[in-house]
A and B are shown apart, each in its own frame.
Chain A
Amino acid sequence: MQIRGTLVLAYYHPGGKPGWVRAFYNGVTYQGVNHLLNAGFRGGFTAAQWYLGLVSNAPVPAVSANDTYASHAGWDEFPYWLAGPPGNQKRPQWSPGAAGTALLASTAPSVGTITSAGTVRGAFVSNVPSGVGSGTSVLWSTGLMSAGLAVAVGGTLSVTYSIRIREAP
């Protein structure tokens, strides 16, 4: 069987004009799968809320299954994609519906506003809304596009994410 996570990023220019759209798979970390196993079979901690973040293209990123929330030497977050009211902005939430036939998917896109121009290269999923995190912080997955793509101040990025566990083909 496989666990396959799929990210779809849709960028809208300032003013709302549609921009680029990319769909790609993610790579899951050991920290992520350990969390899943411990939560599923050993009563380990559960995280009710997960968040999406962006991977910067500066520096050019390299992701690893060994990455953790606290340590990912090969890539930096693009921290200028935020949601929520002023003064309480954080990473957009990922809100999947109930699992059905081993599929967990966004019920609605996770939308954030670009607050500083730059180039994004991918996305990650974590249970941390912002900042440094804690002992129960989990980096579930990272995914990279084939190339960096530009975003501008005032633009918005809409991300949908799904996880499917299926028989290997």
Chain B
Amino acid sequence: MNAYDPRSRDRLSDLVQEFRTGAYLKRRNVASETPVLVAGSFFARVLEADGVTIARDWDLIGNTATYEGLNILLETGFRSGTQYTAWYAGLINNSGYTSTSLSDTMASHSGWSEYTSYSESTRRQWSPAAAATGFVVNSTSMSFTNGGASANIIGCFITSDNTKSGTSGKLWATAVESSARALAASQVFQVYYEIDLVPQS
């Protein structure tokens, strides 16, 4: 395989299309009733240490927003609540993982812990462009370069605090895969994150 596999971009495009059309949710047997379908998803892949060669191609990881996150959305949208203008992605460690919960917060998430042994000094900033037709997504991927030992990652989260292992800030959502994803030393875990609010006609 070439170092850059153009099929990878096609797969990402396919996954994005599947997500935005609701096919992903239908595949998960999530009913799409009126009036607005809320869906967030990570698109994730693993690259080798060269940052180009694909070790594992794009996957779609659906998220669950927390009550804390949803309350922020409602408060900022309708009551001029406190805004959090910068958001960041972090990783969920498979070690010790049991579950995520709607009630999780950055200060309290007893079912999971953060994986922080990547070389970047902070959680990766999620910088979506302005919302258009009901979705926001980052145009530049977020990359986590694994540290000196292999690891197993089960998912990701979005928070308003960029400090690795930090417990302040707000937790918007968590996303976990059906099985853990292995990361060898120096491999790069690369993600995009998208939120769709889709009016149902």
Contact of A43 among B34, B35, B83, B198 (CB under 8 A): B83
* 5 interchain residue pairs of minimum CB distance: A43-B85, A65-B199, A33-B197, A102-B70, A37-B131
B12-56: which residues lie under 8 A (CB-CB) from chain A? 25, 30-39
Q: List 18 A-B contacts (CB under 8 A).
A: A1-B70, A2-B37, A5-B35, A28-B35, A30-B134, A33-B131, A35-B131, A39-B83, A41-B84, A43-B83, A46-B77, A48-B79, A98-B71, A98-B79, A99-B74, A99-B75, A102-B70, A168-B30
Contact of B76 among A46, A65, A163, A167 (CB under 8 A): A46
User: Shortest distance in angstroms between A146's beta carbon and chain B's nearest beta carbon?
Assistant: 14
Contact of A169 among B33, B37, B72, B195 (CB under 8 A): B33
Interface pair B73/A40, CB less than 8 Å apart: yes
* Chain A residue contacts of B72, Cβ below 8 A: 40, 99
User: Shortest distance in angstroms between B141's beta carbon and chain A's nearest beta carbon?
Assistant: 17
Interface pair B35/A165, CB less than 8 Å apart: no
Binary flags per residue of B177-201, CB closer than 8 Å to A gives 1, else 0:
0000000000000000001011111
Contact residues of A with B, CB < 8 Å?
A: 1-5, 25-30, 32-44, 46-48, 50, 64-65, 96, 98-102, 104, 141, 163, 165, 167-169
CA distance A167 to B73 in the complex (A): 15
Interface pair B131/A99, CB less than 8 Å apart: no
CA distance A4 to B33 in the complex (A): 9
Contact of B73 among A4, A36, A65 (CB under 8 A): A36
Is B99 close to A, CB under 8 A? no
Contact of A47 among B35, B39, B78, B199 (CB under 8 A): B78
User: Shortest distance in angstroms between B158's beta carbon and chain A's nearest beta carbon?
Assistant: 9
Contact of B133 among A25, A30, A32, A40 (CB under 8 A): A30
Is B115 close to A, CB under 8 A? no
Interface pair A169/B34, CB less than 8 Å apart: no
| Interface of A: prevailing SS | mixed
CA distance A96 to B25 in the complex (A): 31
User: Shortest distance in angstroms between B125's beta carbon and chain A's nearest beta carbon?
Assistant: 12
* Chain B residue contacts of A169, Cβ below 8 A: 31, 33
CA distance A115 to B73 in the complex (A): 36
* Chain B residue contacts of A48, Cβ below 8 A: 79-80
Interface pair A50/B36, CB less than 8 Å apart: no
Do A33 and B73 contact each other (CB < 8 Å), given the known contacts A27-B35, A168-B30, A168-B33?
A: no
Interface pair A40/B76, CB less than 8 Å apart: yes
Interface pair A165/B32, CB less than 8 Å apart: no
User: What 9 additional pairs, Cβ within 8 angstroms, besides A44-B130, A101-B67?
Assistant: A28-B36, A30-B199, A33-B134, A34-B131, A36-B73, A40-B77, A42-B128, A102-B67, A104-B74
User: Shortest distance in angstroms between B123's beta carbon and chain A's nearest beta carbon?
Assistant: 15
Interface pair B87/A41, CB less than 8 Å apart: yes
* Chain B residue contacts of A168, Cβ below 8 A: 25, 30-33, 37
